[in-house]
């Protein structure tokens, strides 16, 4: 895959993850401080990982295409883990909301 094509796709994927992180942030903001505290800490940790990925992507942009395979593999692995972590946090947040709703109904 050509370098510029890959970089555009990687930036798009990172942008999609940003949208999911922002959605989770909005959901957490609607919670009480106590209920949202653990989710906020997890979200903060994911944002740190996201910034590390951005730095790696910027490093990749500056590299010659012939030398970037190892960095590309690391970027792919980190993006995969971040995507899974974001999805997992979103699922836990939804489960927490469902449990809260069931408690209120009882």
Q: What pLDDT digit, counting tens, does each position of 43-85 carry? A: 999 999 999 999 999 998 888 877 788 888 899 999 999 999 9
The secondary structure of 42-105 as a DSSP string is HHHHHHHHHHHHHHHHHHHHHS-GGG-HHHHHHHHHHHHHHHHHHHHHHHHHHHHHHHHHHHHH
What's the confidence (pLDDT) of residue 50? 96
CATH number of the domain residue 61 falls in: 1.20.5
Provide the Cα torsion 53, 57, 63, 68; round to 10°.
70
The total of structural domains in the chain comes to 1
Residue pair 50/78 in contact by the 8 Å Cβ criterion: no
* Whole-number Å distance between alpha carbons of 23 and 2: 32
Domain, as residue range, for 23: 3-105
What is the model's pTM? 0.79
């Amino acid at each position: 895959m050509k370098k510029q094509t890959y970089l555009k796709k990687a930036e798009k994927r990172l942008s999609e993850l940003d949208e999911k992180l922002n959605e989770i942030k909005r959901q957490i903001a609607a919670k009480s401080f106590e209920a949202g505290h653990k989710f906020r800490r997890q979200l903060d940790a994911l944002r740190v990982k996201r910034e590390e990925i951005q730095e790696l992507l910027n490093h990749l942009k500056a590299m010659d295409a012939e030398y970037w395979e190892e960095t590309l593999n690391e970027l792919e692995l980190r993006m995969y883990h971040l995507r899974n972590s974001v999805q997992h946090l979103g699922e836990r947040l939804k489960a927490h909301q469902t449990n809260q709703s069931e408690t209120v109904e009882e």
